[in-house]
Structure 1
Amino acid sequence: MRSIRTFILLTLLGLTNVSIGQQEFLNELGTEKAESFRKLIDSYQRFLSLNYPNASSLGEQTRSFMMQMVNGEKPLNYDSLDAINVISSLEQSGLRKEIYLYNEEEYEGNYELREFLSEVEADEIDESIAFDNREIIVNDSLKKKWDAIFQERFEQLSPEQKKIEEELEKRRKERKIWGSTPTPKGLFHYTLLKTDTSFYAYCLIRSMDNSPAITPALTELSNDELELWNIQIIFMIDYYLRDILFRYRRHMKPATNKR
């Protein structure tokens, strides 16, 4: 299994050698969803300009964004109104649900991805990991044992440590409530693969409820390479969009979605 994951990562990094136009992807989405995706692109680029006004190019802004996440140097700045408008547009077009699902949200679509499988042989992929990673079987007796250990550890903490632990637990619960998970067989993955099958590795990673990691190989890309569509989509979807969904969707009124 480790070899498969390594292959996936290497394939993902190899995407930098592929040229794909955003327009082809947008054409496949359809008019309304494409318009909301364009708004997301514009919002993401404004976010980069807001945080890195002195950067001379999109690639330089992307590098600064990437390294700030890696190093945790300072909090990022967000335009809350812009973010809320983008989320609202994605909701109204139905595209948000094709990219991310909220906690316990149902999804009626089922876009089959395997028809685009080319570089990875079907028998090399563990489907329980690639497409159905939502059920985790936990031994009940083992869970109770660990719960008891954690409770005992908590009782041994100082009042200050308990306060910190309680705050961390509060944040974990908040993320569970307001977090989101990639839509495994949604239109987003399907359209990416329809326009370029080399996106299969990226879609496979997201189908496992993971975000592509910021690896040393990614940080070593040139600024020009960081501007490529295949790289930009990682930062826009898996870091920017996921973050604004977590931060701002709770402040929005329920919208009427198309699906």
Structure 2
Amino acid sequence: MADHTVKSFTEELDALTQEVARMGGLAEMAVNESITSVVRRDTSLAQGVIERDARIDTAQHDVEKRAIKLFALRQPMASDLRVVLTGWRIAGELERVGDLAKNIAKRALILNQAEPIQLTRSVERMGKIAAQHLKQVLDAYANRDIDAAVGVWFHDEDIDAHYNSLFRELLTYMMEDPRTISSSAHLLFIAKNIERIGDHGTNIAEYIYFLVTGEQIATQRPRPPSSETTE
């Protein structure tokens, strides 16, 4: 392959990676702002998240077009193939993250019209964990940092634990004061969306592992030694 062709191919791979990274920045911002719109009861911020979701969709389509072009014209092999395939897959995960952030913002618009309830802070804590995990996997993707990606993969259960705890709190809250049922239900849907954002972050971590190693990550997380000794 001629030198100029190799250089052009490398530039195209870099452009794909950069577009995925840019899309990741948009998705990360949407998650953070959607959570903030709930906590601060910020209607204008929630509306902004909803309106800007189209930018994430556009970025995903651009990544898809770039990937298809590379498959068709370059027929990438080995590590180059993994770069294209991983970029395409991560873009799909980020598009869904954007949709979930938009859903959270839509719930915020409804919650902002009702009386505030205390458990909003519990949702905030859960949201911060999911947002931090998303940031970590996006940084891991940019740096090809397999250790950081695996770290997020191992700690996905932190978000699940917060969701289960919040679920029980919200049920108790609704039973004690039926007037809070509507708002609590919206918070429960928000919490579920946050949990799913965490799942997408875990999926991205798995793609990064494949990108760097060429292998699939283990399907089950081994138990930490501390949990084995306490049973």
TM-score by shorter chain over 0.5: no
Q: Quickly name the TM-score band, shorter chain normalised.
A: under 0.3
Structure 1 or 2: more helix by fraction: 2
Quick one: higher RCO (CA 8 Å, sep 6+), 1 or 2? 1
Q: TM-score, normalised by structure 2?
A: 0.26
